[in-house]
Amino acid sequence: MRVSGQGIRQLIRMPTGCGEQTMISMGPAAYSTRYLDHSKQWKELPAGLRDQALEFIRAGYTRILTYKKKDGSYGAWIHYDSSTWLTAFVLKTLSQVHSYADVQNEEIEDPASYLLTQQLHSGEFHDPKPVIHREMQGGVGGVDSRISLTAFVTIALHHSLAAQTGEKLQRVKDAIDKSTEYLQDKILKPDSSAAHQAVEILKSQAIEDREKGPGYHRGDDSVWAAGRWPTESRSWRSLCTLAVRAAELRRGFRSTQDTVVALEALSEFEILKDPNTPPPKLEIKLSSLGKNLNQRVTLETSAIGVEEDLRRFVGNTIDINVGGSGKGSLTVLKIYNSMEPKTSCNDLKIEVTVTGKVKYTPVVVDYYDYEGGEEPPQSDQAMSELDWFDARSRRKRDATGHESSKKSVVNYQVCIWHSSAANLSGMAIADITMLSGFEADTEDLDKLKGLADQYINHYESTEGRLLLYFDGIPPEQECIEFGAKQIIPIGLVQPATATLYDYYEPDRKCTTFYNAPGRSTFVSTLCSGEVCQCAEKPCHKQQETYSKTLTKDLRMSHACFDPIVNYGYTVKVLSIVEQNNFQVYKCAITRTLQYNRDELVAPGSIRFFLKRRQCKGSLNEGQQYLIMGNDGKTTDQQGHMQYLLDSSSWIEELPQEEKCRGSAYRRYCKGLTDFLDEYESSGCTI
């Protein structure tokens, strides 16, 4: 009855974050190390991993002490209210890793003394400020949260007895006796919900042998024979059975406590098991009747958790033959993709608004239609043909050369509230993805946290993400404001997300989009069927008809810059409509210069070209244009390719014939005609 050391290896992580997050990593790392010591599986793992695990445990010990308060209690942060459950978890973990981290007795005595102050006259323990990370508690909660919490604290106090002395030892023993009496009274009541729940769990997990009667486990009599082992070892074996089964069926454990309890049970079983029990060895043959499909697997102590790829059996019945001695389990894992459910903002509400001036890179800034709030381009000088082509076709963004030494500052306003019908449980978190190139001003956030009203309880700002912790969500809209500094100018502006969720019920959440001032909060996508194309590339730049800088060579350079350009058409705009975040141009193809995947395109074909509404420039109905660019990834209702106009697109309005007859534009028109003829007949020649 073992779990693979390779599977447990992933639980050994460096503890980081707040007090709760530190224990989320430290607890499993400590119990994993203890289990691997007793099961002697380190030899199956990379050399030096045990030393690394011990280093992580010691680092976690040092870190968790920074969250210890004067009364010996622990909270998520030093300024946050103490948690009875978290203090008990710290006490239990430190009591069991004292040999790994040289834990001082006072670090066990102090939290134990605090826990005694949280015991009521009835014997139960209470927790006025539950942990934020409820997922770390496992089953310590629910309908009988008082019972499960009391049991958890009692176990933690029991583990601390070895470090207690004198009067403190007696006080802890008295508290354990008192809480045990309380638990016995609750469990032994036949009509109690705790008793019913315990019975149902045991009945669902019991495996009965009809010959031996209830309470026996089929198979391994060396463990389960009556009277062979004491009750404690049989209890640990029961926990091991459930733990291993849970790990196999769920491919892991659901919470920190699932993990810790399972590893604790496995460790105790390794200590108590009969050393004379022969090691298991199983030969498994997988086959499919009528098909030449055979696969053999050998399971033994040194080969725990063997995984085999069974994709070649898909669509066929798998026959399994097992030989040898011992016991094992077979789990078949099916993997499939599912769409993430849409979040509802019926209960919770969040709005994020950004005001102020934003710096944009000059290469991209000219192509957008602003509504206010942006810095103007830093230079209005005309670009040379080579500079323009480099910046335009290769889409090189200048993120440093044009950056001012003075950082721009914008103002973030975050508003949260909930509907009157919402029944919320307490603390909430706003998870805000910062706009590209911005970081929150921590001085402003510290002020929000430090004010008497304490608008936010805590914040975390890392790598473009900001987490704001609120004690609750008000029924009416309340807003906070803070500054954000722009580190680099923005080239490609995309909407960012903000999510508000109830931390005790994280499935209750609201996600919304926000953007820079004057920019759309919609993420532009083109979809056909189940295929969508992101349309958030930089905007196109429309060429200036009759410009002397537009030469045949310049057009050919753009047309032959693969893979940016796949097609070249001349088109006539038939109609213009607006759909969602796009302007849609219905065009008739007048000339197919080059094409790629759109094999059905021909003169007279109807094709749709789309541009984002935020982009400058527009095509005029009835006019003709030269358009070159990249193939589209979506289709229209008739199944024909539709094209997105973006920074890879060349758009040039074709000149009027009467103007081309004049001497002023004769050279321009000849260069255009020569390009169209050569590109159509010979394609790319450069």
Handedness of CA 636, 638, 639, 643 (dihedral sign): negative
Most confident of the ranges 160-164, 435-439, 523-527: 160-164
Residues recorded for the chain: 686
Percent of the chain with pLDDT over 90: 27
Percent of the chain with pLDDT over 70: 70
- Average pLDDT in the chain: 77
Q: Distance between CA 566 and CA 599 in Å, rounded?
A: 12
Q: 43-52, 210-219, 541-550: which has the minimum mean pLDDT?
A: 210-219
> Number of H helices and number of E strands within the chain?
18, 22
pLDDT band at 129 (very low <50, low <70, confident <90, very high): confident
Q: Distance between CA 60 and CA 465 in Å, rounded?
A: 25
pLDDT value of residue 398: 36
CATH code: domain 534-682 is: 2.40.50.120
pLDDT value of residue 231: 41
Count other Cβ atoms within 10 Å, centred on residue 570: 20
Q: Distance between CA 306 and CA 387 in Å, rounded?
A: 59
pLDDT band at 248 (very low <50, low <70, confident <90, very high): very low
Residue pLDDT, tens place only, 159-176: 999 898 899 999 999 999
Q: How many CA atoms lie within 13 A of 313 on its CB side?
A: 17
Q: At what angle do helices 166-188 and 193-205 cross, to 10 degrees?
A: 80
Which segments within 464-581 are labelled E, that is strand?
465-470, 478-486, 496-502, 505-514, 525-528, 531-534, 541-542, 567-579
Residue pLDDT, tens place only, 362-376: 544 444 454 444 444
> Looking at this protein, which amino acid is placed at residue 504?
Y
Whether the predicted pLDDT of 414 surpasses 90: yes
Whether the predicted pLDDT of 291 surpasses 90: no
Whether the predicted pLDDT of 678 surpasses 80: yes
What values do phi and psi take at 532, rounded to 5? -125, 145
Whether the predicted pLDDT of 177 surpasses 90: yes
> Looking at this protein, which amino acid is placed at residue 357?
K
Contact 552, 674 (CB under 8 A): yes
Three-class secondary structure of residue 502 per DSSP: strand
End-to-end CA distance of the chain: 70
Q: At what angle do helices 145-159 and 84-96 cross, to 10 degrees?
A: 30
Contacts of 133 (CB under 8 A, 6+ apart): 20, 21, 24, 76, 503
- DSSP structural state of residue 468: E
pLDDT value of residue 527: 61
Contact 169, 109 (CB under 8 A): no
pLDDT band at 617 (very low <50, low <70, confident <90, very high): confident
Q: How many CA atoms lie within 13 A of 288 on its CB side?
A: 12
pLDDT value of residue 213: 45
> What predicted TM-score, i.e. pTM, was given to this entire model?
0.49
Q: Distance between CA 585 and CA 576 in Å, rounded?
A: 5
**Residue with tokens 């023993």, as numbered in its chain:** 173
Handedness of CA 270, 273, 276, 280 (dihedral sign): negative
Q: Distance between CA 280 and CA 409 in Å, rounded?
A: 67
Q: Distance between CA 140 and CA 128 in Å, rounded?
A: 14
> Looking at this protein, which amino acid is placed at residue 23?
M
Q: How many CA atoms lie within 13 A of 405 on its CB side?
A: 0
Residue pLDDT, tens place only, 329-351: 777 766 655 444 455 688 899 99
Range 592-629 burial, b when 16+ CB lie within 10 A, else e: bbbbeebeebeeebebbbbbbebbeeebeeeebbbbbb
Q: 69-78, 377-386, 573-582: which has the minimum mean pLDDT?
A: 377-386
Right CATH for 348-514 from 2.60.40.690, 1.20.1560.10, 2.60.420.10, 1.10.10.10: 2.60.40.690
Alpha helices in 406-507 (DSSP H): 442-450
pLDDT band at 250 (very low <50, low <70, confident <90, very high): very low
Structure tokens at 168: 């403190």
Contact 649, 539 (CB under 8 A): no
How do the domains of the chain map onto residue ranges? 281-325, 348-514, 534-682
Q: What is the dihedral of CA 388, 394, 398, 401, to 10 degrees?
A: -70
Cα distances (Å, whole numbers) of residue 596 to 338, 393, 456, 585, 625: 33, 19, 56, 21, 19
What values do phi and psi take at 522, rounded to 5? -85, 140
Whether the predicted pLDDT of 30 surpasses 60: yes
pLDDT value of residue 256: 63
- Paired with 300 in beta bridges are 281
As a whole number, mean pLDDT of residues 519-537 equals 57
Most confident of the ranges 113-117, 365-369, 499-503, 615-619: 113-117
H/E run at residue 624 = strand 624-629
Structure tokens at 497: 């997300």
- Of 506, 516, 522, nearest in space to 613 by CA: 522
As a whole number, mean pLDDT of residues 99-128 equals 91
Whether the predicted pLDDT of 354 surpasses 70: yes
Handedness of CA 514, 516, 522, 527 (dihedral sign): negative
pLDDT value of residue 236: 46
- Of 84, 24, 132, nearest in space to 467 by CA: 132
Residue pLDDT, tens place only, 453-483: 667 888 888 878 899 988 888 888 999 999 9
Q: Distance between CA 151 and CA 149 in Å, rounded?
A: 5
Structure tokens at 351: 């709005």
Whether the predicted pLDDT of 521 surpasses 60: no
Q: 129-143, 285-299, 577-591: which has the minimum mean pLDDT?
A: 129-143
Cα distances (Å, whole numbers) of residue 601 to 406, 485, 607: 52, 49, 8
**Residue with tokens 């309340």, as numbered in its chain:** 478
For the domain made up of 281-325, give the CATH fold: ubp-family deubiquitinating enzyme fold (2.20.210)
pLDDT value of residue 84: 93
Q: Distance between CA 269 and CA 580 in Å, rounded?
A: 63
pLDDT value of residue 652: 95
Structure tokens at 605: 């074909």
Contact 56, 13 (CB under 8 A): yes
pLDDT band at 383 (very low <50, low <70, confident <90, very high): very low
Structure tokens at 683: 């394609």
Contacts of 73 (CB under 8 A, 6+ apart): 82, 83, 87, 111, 114
Contact 296, 284 (CB under 8 A): yes
